[in-house]
């Protein structure tokens, strides 16, 4: 593995934001959020452009990726009261470090063009260990260049690789999901993907589910955005020939796909931009939520009437079969104007959910109490 120098520094005293200093405006915004009965939303931390997250319980910390400014952040909730006491930027000058993951004492960070890891035995010593690049065969292209990474139970790292276009024929490993084995050897396990920025593994079957964002400029209601299920290695999910599993793209409408394609297991409305997906594993929420998936819809940007800007609940059985979908949380869209955009969803050890918002620059905590 190639060792590289990357600027890493952690000063927990230099707090850039604090959940305890919630402004009146933030409180007013939170009052707009609609949730099922007995659910509550609060602010866990304020982090600029908060994107992908990974919860590291042994450090009482949440590491947060970022699409701008080259910075990864850490939010620490040492007393576990659901509000971060310390928040600090720990990297700078990285190239779109959106993806973060954790395994066996190492923080993994995915930039646009590579993935590296750094050992974190404790937060105070962060940055004293050399960073190691473990994979760098990624398209160094900014269009859909924000990677998402996650480990499965077999400790294999998965990397989403967006297609660098709106609609185009992809090259090499563009428009795929890559899986690295324990020796970081790469295998393309899913293809025909336009832009996935969220994935998780079903807690019972271990199989991969991932979101995909449909093409722009095909009309207000086409194509559907997607939640996909990888049931076997090598499946093709339709791009660039199809959008939403059935709508033909203008550029490729007369061309036959080179192999069989797999439709989505859930079709969302067009342009809602589904990003983070998380299967609920905890016990704080009512039992009927166990193993259901939550999906963050970032919201539309090129639709006549905006839609999305909410969190969906995907009801599933124990084998991962979809039973239905419903709105779990909304209110970030008021009329035709939005004040927040959900990005990623993760779970704290107590069973509450964290939701990042790169527009409002916060991480929310959603909890339940009878």
How does pLDDT run across 64-98, given as a tens digit for each residue? 999 988 999 999 999 999 999 999 999 999 999 99
- Give the chain's domains with CATH numbers: 2-368 (2.120.10.30)
Q: What is the pLDDT of residue 124?
A: 83
Q: What is the pLDDT of residue 8?
A: 52
Rounded mean pLDDT, 35-48: 97
Please give the share of the chain, as a percent, with pLDDT higher than 70: 93
How does pLDDT run across 100-120, given as a tens digit for each residue? 999 999 999 999 999 999 999
How does pLDDT run across 159-185, given as a tens digit for each residue? 999 999 999 999 999 999 999 999 999
Contact between 213 and 274 under an 8 Å Cβ cutoff? The reply is: yes
Q: Is the pLDDT of residue 11 over 70?
A: no
């Amino acid at each position: 593995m190639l060792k590289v120098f990357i600027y890493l520094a952690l000063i927990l005293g230099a707090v850039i934001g604090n959940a305890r200093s919630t402004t009146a405006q933030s409180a007013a915004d939170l009052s707009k959020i609609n949730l099922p009965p007995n659910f509550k939303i609060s602010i866990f931390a304020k982090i600029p452009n908060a994107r992908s997250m990974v919860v590291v319980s042994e450090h009482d910390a949440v590491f947060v990726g970022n699409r701008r400014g080259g910075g990864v952040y850490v939010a620490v909730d040492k007393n576990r009261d659901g509000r971060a006491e310390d928040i600090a930027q720990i990297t700078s000058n990285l190239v779109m470090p959106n993806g973060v993951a954790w395994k066996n004492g190492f923080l993994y960070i995915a930039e646009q063009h590579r993935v590296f890891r750094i050992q974190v035995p404790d937060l105070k010593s962060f940055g004293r260990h050399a960073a190691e690049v473990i994979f760098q065969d990624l398209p160094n292209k900014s269009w859909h260049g924000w990677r998402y990474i996650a480990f499965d139970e077999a400790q294999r790292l998965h990397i989403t690789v967006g297609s660098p276009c709106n609609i185009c024929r992809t090259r090499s490993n563009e428009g795929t999901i890559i899986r690295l084995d324990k020796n970081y050897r790469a295998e393309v396990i899913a293809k025909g993907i336009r832009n996935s920025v969220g994935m998780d593994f079903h807690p019972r079957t271990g199989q991969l589910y991932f979101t995909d964002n449909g093409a722009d400029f095909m009309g207000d209601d086409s194509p559907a955005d997607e939640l996909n299920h990888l049931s076997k290695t090598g499946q093709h999910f339709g791009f660039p020939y199809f959008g939403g599993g059935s709508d033909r793209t203008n550029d490729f409408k007369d061309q036959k796909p080179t192999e069989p394609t797999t439709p989505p297991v859930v079709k969302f409305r067009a342009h809602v931009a589904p990003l983070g997906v998380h299967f609920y594993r905890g016990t704080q929420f009512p039992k009927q939520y166990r193993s259901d998936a939550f999906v963050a819809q970032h919201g539309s940007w090129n639709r006549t009437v905006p839609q999305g800007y909410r969190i969906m609940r995907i009801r599933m059985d124990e084998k991962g079969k979809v039973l239905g979908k419903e709105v779990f949380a909304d209110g970030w869209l008021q009329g035709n104007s939005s004040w927040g955009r959900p990005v990623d969803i993760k779970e704290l050890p107590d069973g509450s959910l964290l939701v990042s918002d790169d527009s409002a620059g916060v991480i929310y905590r959603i909890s339940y109490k009878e």
